[in-house]
Every structure is written in structure tokens, then in C-alpha cells.
A and B are shown apart, each in its own frame.
Chain A
Amino acid sequence: MTLIDVTPALQAHEQETCELELKTTLRALIAAKFESVAAAQRKPLAGPLADELVLLESGLDSLCFAIIVATLEDELGFDPFTEAEDVYFPVTFGDFVRFYERAR
């Protein structure tokens, strides 16, 4: 009988799950922020918050984005726009989420 040590695999799986959950949480948090700021600013979102949604066509204006970035900074403790060494402009909602994921 060969015993297979499954611990590394389990650990790898747990880590993946954990990262996946974090990513899901961050994405959900950002999406929720888009929705609440849109509602507060009376700017209806142009479509569902899918990866390919182009930010400039989302219905939000730059003031909305400024508020989203500021409130996310308060909740997450960082602001990737200010921390980034290069000027970066996310084009789609997916870019925006990944920008935060990478900066974490």
C-alpha cells in the first residue's frame, strides 16, 4: 500500500481557495461601492458590472470615481492610484478590479 501525502496538495488547494475568496471579496466590495456611489450621486449604471464594461461608458463621472477611490482607501487602507509609480488609467471595470488586486 502506498501512502500518498496529500498535505501539500491540500495546502495548495486551501491557498487557492483563500485567494479566490479574497479576490471574490475585493471584486464584490468594489462592485458594491460602484453601485452605492452611483445611487448616492444619482448616476444610474449603464450596464451590469462585468469585466468588459468600459468605465467611461458606465454612467459614472470622474467625481463618482474620485469618491469610489477615496472610500475604498478608507476601507482597504490603500489607494493604488496614488501608490502607482506610473500613471495608470484602467479602461474597463475588469482593469479597475485587477489594479486593486495587484496593489494589495
Chain B
Amino acid sequence: MSTFRSPSATSSDSMSAPADAMSLRGTLRRSERLAERRIHGWAGEVSLADLARGTALGGAAAALAGRSVLLRVADPLYAAIALVEFDGVASRIVLSPPDLQDEALPGVVLQAGIEAAVTDGAEPIAGLPTHRLALPVQLQDSPPAAIASEWVMFTSGTSGPPKMVIHTLAALTGAIKPAAAGAPPPVWGTFYDIRRYGGLQILLRALFGEGSLAITAPDEPMPDFLTRVAAVGVTHLTGTPSHWRRVLMTPQSRALSPAYVRLSGEIADQAVLDALKARFPGAPIGHAYASTEAGVGFEVNDGLAGFPADYVGRAGDVALRVVDGALQVKSARASSGYVDGRTLAGDDGFVDTGDMVELRGERYHFVGRRGGVINVGGLKAHPEEIEAVINAHPAVRMSRVSGRRSPITGAIVAAEVVLHDPGADEAAAREGILAACRERLAPFKVPAMLRFTPSLPMTAGGKLERAVG
């Protein structure tokens, strides 16, 4: 039974045909190998053939037609299911990231004009009419996509509290190229959460590129996920440099043989690129520059850190320029604005990313965030450029640099370092690291304090956790 359409449904059906074709469901229905395609979650899996036609909401999607809906689930598999089901149906889909606190919900509901919630849990969300997602997917008629839904995502909040930005599916998929004819179907795997920009890109690549996808869940241990990745035959594996450094520390990583390795979300330094090249010699290793606000900027596939200087000013979908050391992006893939109505881009359409770059020879290198500078007596140091030098030391797995308050210079540079081998000679490593820093960095950037630690914390978004402010 399908009672989901308003009386005007008949007249709008011909109007909605292009919207339906553009939607996630319309895209899936055109797939020639839909029956083979799956999304593999931690707790279960779902067939894309079922998803293209069925519902995990017991038909409640009809009640959500034209509504602004908050998607707040514990298991990201349900986020993937709901996105397919709601795209083109809900007027706005607000994708709650896993670490959004309950206390923040009333403000989010108000700001984004949310009218209903969808969850995989038992409790109603923020006093809203709440619909529950459940597997298995039930096959039944579902409403055709009639509109271009707005997708609302949260920024990672690396500089200040998270903000909600609006995207369209067209902007989100702007960087995705069609699958090459005759290419084997990719099986994507990602360490990102698909409720964040980086992870969502991978979900969309799988859905639009005739692929399948393996996703992890917030509580799933990395070794367990890697075992699943190997079991389902993931060919395209993606994560942040922090994710990858963690992967390289697991014995399970030795059993992987991806056809493609991709990094984004943080600065990919030469050390992590080289380590991945050594671990996965057969795989091209690409790093992408993207942000929730500016969209996918570009990809770099030559195995080197940074990006060629001629990317700046070249013709194409994405225009780049550098203003006062900061990268600015103008792109149809950028967000159309914040939910509170503020625009992201300046009058000339460029979005200031806040990512600082430095020209060295023929290449731009990322040096850090504008807000993340350590001010040592008036001289500015970016934590990331110092970390890149520390990480290049052969004994180092990863590092975190921060400013330590100083009554003399305002701040000094402090470093925490994780070694590959916890039993290594720390004194020798310290000498080697500091010698490398002295050779390659200005004296005030050389860590004044350096301590070794067994591990460094990662945010829910898969980035190295940094103190705010």
C-alpha cells in the first residue's frame, strides 16, 4: 500500500522525473550490477538492491516527505540506509555526527528548522516526532524523489564550535568521476565515519561508482575492522593520516592488499606517504584536499606531500588562490552556506579555508591551520610543519606539537612523540629528532620540550586531537 503522495502527486510526477534520476535511489536503480552490491557494517550488511526499492522505516518515509529531518543514529550503517531512503524525499537531511552531544540538540533543532527525527534507538530524539529505523529492509513502493534535498553537515570544529553547512547532492558528488568502463567494481572501505564530509564522500563514491562499501562503527576496534576489510575484499581503502598511522601499527595491516590507498582530512606528510608506499607497494597512494565547507578541492597522486604550484591559478572546476599564506577555494562543490543564513564565500565566490600553505620550490606545502599557530615571542610556528619534520625521523610513528604557555615568550614549542618501537632507545631518538629539527627548522620552532608517549588521542572524526584555543 502506498498512500504517501499528496493529491498533486500525479501532476508532479513528470516534473519530479529529473529529480528522481538525480537522487541516490534513481542512481542505484540505473546500476547494472545492483544485486552484487552491498554496504557492510559492523553489525550487519544491507543489499543495495533492497535499498533501491525498500524501506527500513516501515513506510514512514512518506510522512517525512518535504520535511526537515534529523538523522541521529548509533550505527552508521543506518545513516547510509536512511540517506538513500530520504534523498529526494525530505526537504532537508541533517546528519548528526557521532560526537554531537545531546545538550546541543535543542539549538541544532531550532537553527536547522528540524521537524522530525530518525533514529536506530528506542528513545525519542529532542522531543521531536521520532521514527525508528530497523532491518531487514522491507520491500515496498517508496515515494519517488520529487525534490533536491538539502544535506546539512557539521564542520569538524577544529577551529571553534561545530557549525552546520548546507550542501546539495550535486555539489557533494561534483568531484566523483564515473566508473571506467570495464573496470572491476570497486569495494570501498573507510575508517571515516560516513556522517562526516570525508566519509560521506566515500559512501557517495561507492553508490555512484558501481561499488560496494565497508564501514566501521565508532566502537569497533581497528583490528576487527581490518579483518572485515580483508574478508570482504576491499579494494579502495581510505582514511586520515592519523587513521593510517594507527593501521600501520596493526599486524592485520600486513594481510591487506588494497588496489588504491587514499588519505584526506589532515596534512599527509611525506613520512606517512612513504610508510604506506612501503607497506602497500602495489597500490597508488593519493591524498585529497577537501573540507566540509569548501568541498573536494583536489587530489594529489604523485606520492609526494603538498601539491604542485601550478594547481594554483589553473583552469577547471575548482579555482585556487593563496592570500596572505592561506588557501582560498572557489568551487561549485562548496557548501551553499551555513544554516543560519551566513555565507561562506566572499563577494568573489572564494572560500577562505584557513589552511596555511608555503611555497617551496615548485610545490605548495600545507603548514597548518591559521588559528593553530604557536606564538613564540611574536614568531609564528605551525604545529603541523614541526610534526612533519619529527615524523620524518625513522624511529617515529607519529607526533603532536602544541604550544606550552611561557611567562618569558608567551609560548614555547612542546612535542609528544610516539615511537614505532616502544622499547627503543629514547635518548638516541630524542637526539636524532632534535638534530633533524635544528637542521630543518628555525630555532624557535625546534621543540623546547619533548616527551615520549605510548599513544596520542584521536577525535571521533579521525583526526589528531588538539587542544582548542
Interface residues of A (CB under 8 A from B): 40-42, 62-63, 65-67, 69-71, 74, 79, 81-82
Contacts and interface: CB of A to CB of B under 8 A. Distances in A.
25 contacts: A40-B434, A41-B443, A42-B438, A62-B377, A62-B408, A62-B409, A63-B376, A63-B377, A63-B409, A63-B444, A66-B407, A66-B408, A66-B409, A66-B412, A66-B448, A67-B412, A69-B406, A69-B407, A70-B406, A70-B412, A71-B449, A74-B449, A81-B408, A82-B405, A82-B407
Contacts of A40: 434
Nearest to A79: B407
A67 B407 contact: no
A42 B446 CA distance: 12
A44 B443 CA distance: 15
A79 B404 CA distance: 13
Contact of B443 (A63, A65, A79): A63
B406 A66 contact: yes
Contacts of A82: 405, 407
Contacts of A65: 408
A85 to B, nearest CB: 13
A71 B377 CA distance: 18
Contacts of B444: 63
A63 B412 contact: yes
Contacts of A81: 407-408
- The residue among A41, A66, A67 with the most chain B CB atoms within 10 A of its own CB is A66
A66 B375 CA distance: 13
Interface in B15-49: none
A70 B449 contact: yes
A62 B443 CA distance: 12
Given A41-B443, A70-B412, A63 B448 contact: yes
Nearest to B451: A74
A79 to B, nearest CB: 7
Contact of A67 (B377, B405, B448): B448
